[in-house]
Each structure stands twice: as C-alpha cells, then as structure tokens.
Amino acid sequence: MEKKRIIAFGDSIVKGVITPDNNSYCITEDNFVQECEQRLGVEVENCSRFGCTVKKGLEIVERSIAKLKNADYAILGWGGNDCAFDWEKIASNPDAEHEPLTSLEDFNSTYKKIIAQVRSEGAEPILLSLPPINSNLYFDEVTRNMSGSGKSNVLKWLGGTTEYIQSWHELYNLEVFKVGSDLGADVVDITSAFLQKRNFGHFLCLDGMHPNEKGHQLIADTLCDYCSRMMPAF
C-alpha cells in the first residue's frame, strides 16, 4: 500500500522550534511532526515557518500548489503569532490603543481561505488547536530586554495583570474551533491534552509559549490517536 502523504503548514510550534535555554531557538529532532511521520508510517513535508501568521501562511500555501496536489492531508496550525502585539510600541505608549498582528476577523477569514485552497487541490485539512500559554513566563519573555519602566508600561496596558495575555490567546484558540465548525473541518484538540495535566507548564519551554520535548510528545500522542481513530487507513 502506498504511503499517505501529509504536508504541514504553520508557525514555529508546528516547525518544532523549542527554546532550551530561553536565549536561543532550535528545532528539536523529536518534534511532533517527525514523531507522527515515524509512528503512522506516512510521508510528511513540513512547510512551517518561524513567526508565521495566517496571512503569511496563505502566501506559503499558494506557493505550494504542486506539493498540495500530491498530499492526502494538510496539517494546519496558526494563531500564536497572530494574537501577539508589538510589545515595544506598547511599552512606549501604554495609553494608546494597540492592534494584534492579525485581527480576529482577519484570522477567521484568512484561515478559511487557506482551507478552501487546500481542499481545491484535493487535500483534506486537519486543524490544530493552540497549546495553552503560561502568561507570566510569556510576559517575562517579551519584556526581558526592556527597562523597568517599559515592563511597567506593558503591565499597565494589560490592566495590571498578565491574565489578559492568556485570555486573549484563548480567543484565537476558540476561533480555530469556530473556523473548523463553520467549514466542517476537523480540529485536533491539542489544548485539552495540555490542560488535563496537573501542571501543563512542565510541557512548555521557559518562554511560556513553545512546547518543549515533552510537549511535542504530548501533541504527537494526541495527533496520532486522532489519526488512528478517525482515519483507519493510517
């Protein structure tokens, strides 16, 4: 039997990026895409990009038509960069209104364009929800090169607590499920796999955002379980 072919599009999480010492980035060989390729016996091409938003993702998908035509499924994973803000601008002017890199409306509409493109080339999309974020660690990461006043200004803009980081991030996660529901596309619930752990922080890097090696194993377990249950051909 010919191996199933999967193409992956997404951000640094789908790429397999980790921050082992909180000062550098690298791609772990044990990332969940590689794990799924080995466990499921499929061929996977990873076209994910560090820092990728859905807008950039759409451009990459549109340049990958030939690859899509040869794929059976497309793993899609965006949102973590889309919901981010320009924290330096916020630090400089905490009393102003600031917009995320991608608005919720644009996130929804662009994600739907990607799914339509994927399906038009004969591949079936598999959406990934977002791993939860540790808002305190994330705040420390995005402000660690700022002065004390800069950090205070960011915290002021956040409303005096880092909780807004987590709740805003969750809005984009919920939007992934809405997109899947609207278009009848499956969403693999990565989020719950983390939240079911007593301390999901043990599965995240020190930046509070990227899954570590244990986190990638958790995602691989969840995704492979989904494929085994929903796609008997695997």
Q: What is the pLDDT of residues 154-195, one digit of tens each?
A: 999 999 999 999 999 999 999 999 999 999 999 999 999 999
The pLDDT assigned to 188 comes to: 98
**Choice between 151 and 19, residue whose per-residue pLDDT is larger:** 151
pTM over 0.85: yes
The pLDDT assigned to 77 comes to: 98
The pLDDT assigned to 231 comes to: 66
The pLDDT assigned to 3 comes to: 82
Residue type, 183: L
Q: Are the C-beta atoms of 123 and 68 separated by less than 8 Å?
A: yes
Cα separation of the two ends of the chain: 11
Q: 10-46: per-residue pLDDT in tens?
A: 999 999 999 877 678 899 999 999 999 999 999 999 9
Going from N- to C-terminal start, the domains of the chain cover 5-83+102-132+177-230
Tokens of 20: 């082992």
CATH for 5-83+102-132+177-230 is 3.40.50.1110
Tokens of 108: 């929804």
Q: 203-233: per-residue pLDDT in tens?
A: 999 999 999 999 999 999 999 999 988 765 5
Angle between helices 32-40 and 213-230 (to 10 degrees): 40
Residue 204 backbone class (left: φ over 0; alpha: ψ -120 to 50; beta: rest): beta
The pLDDT assigned to 111 comes to: 98
